Structure 1
Amino acid sequence: MTLAADTREAVRRHPFLYDALRAGVLNYTAAARFLDVDGETDSVVAALRRFAEDLPDYERPGESPPVSMQSGLGEGDPADALLAVSDLALVPDEGSLTAITAGGEADAAALRQVLGRLETAEVAVEAAAFGGGSLVVVVGRRDGPDAVRAVEDALAA
């Protein structure tokens, strides 16, 4: 592979760098040192600059979708589940977890934004999914209000 191809592949292994390149907020020299790419730092910097020029501009999600909170989730019958993953089915009125749901046009990119924002807010996520234009994240009951604010912030225009 070429140095440019190696650099692009290394960036794709680190989505935060990919987003920073798209947003135009990346320190190229620091990124070149961070990446595990064989080559002179200046050459990797040049490859990063060329890669950034080829990427679409970073866009925050559009209009904020409605966000709601539902407490009391726990394991139960998959037929009644708000969220089911493998053998885990989380249903209302069965436990102490809280679901934060966002409607609108939620997709994988929106869920990624939400999970990143929850991580920086130090809110532990128990489960998460998206589909049908909605997304749901499940957190501990006490984290519910902070999670609502973080989800709203992540999806704000």
Structure 2
Amino acid sequence: MVRGLRVSGLLLAVMGLTWSSSVRASLNGNLSVEIDGVKNKQGQVCVSIFASSQGFPSNRDRIVQKQCTKITETPVKVSFNNLKAGNYAVAVIHDRNNDLTLNRNNLGMPTEGFGFSRNPEVRTSAPKFGDAAFLIAGPNTNIQIQLKYF
């Protein structure tokens, strides 16, 4: 009898692990990003998603997903699908010359528009991941980013 209970308990534990894994796997969501404040329709807007502080906001090797889209109307809307539940931060640039880079002047100041999720204040450097991070925990997440220009 004791052996039968142990086997049943083990079976339930294995089934529980399988169930919770399948639930976690189905917790993928979609992200809609609305970008306001675009100064003109020249070039494109590039949106990069990061899943950790490593490389945020400019290391291209650490980007989870990226999309560039031509500016045809404002606000610009970009959607991403099938993101795993978790914390993310988004960096956006208004890439006026289509070179996929945030161009800067001789002093290192951006000459193109930029923005981040949660719209943190930017003074002398880019925000930390934690200042821009938001949670994807459901089927649809919507965020708005206000571009800044210097």
Q: TM-score, normalised by structure 1?
A: 0.26
Which is richer in strand?
Answer: 2
Which is richer in helix?
Answer: 1
Structure exhibiting the larger radius of gyration computed from Cα positions:
2
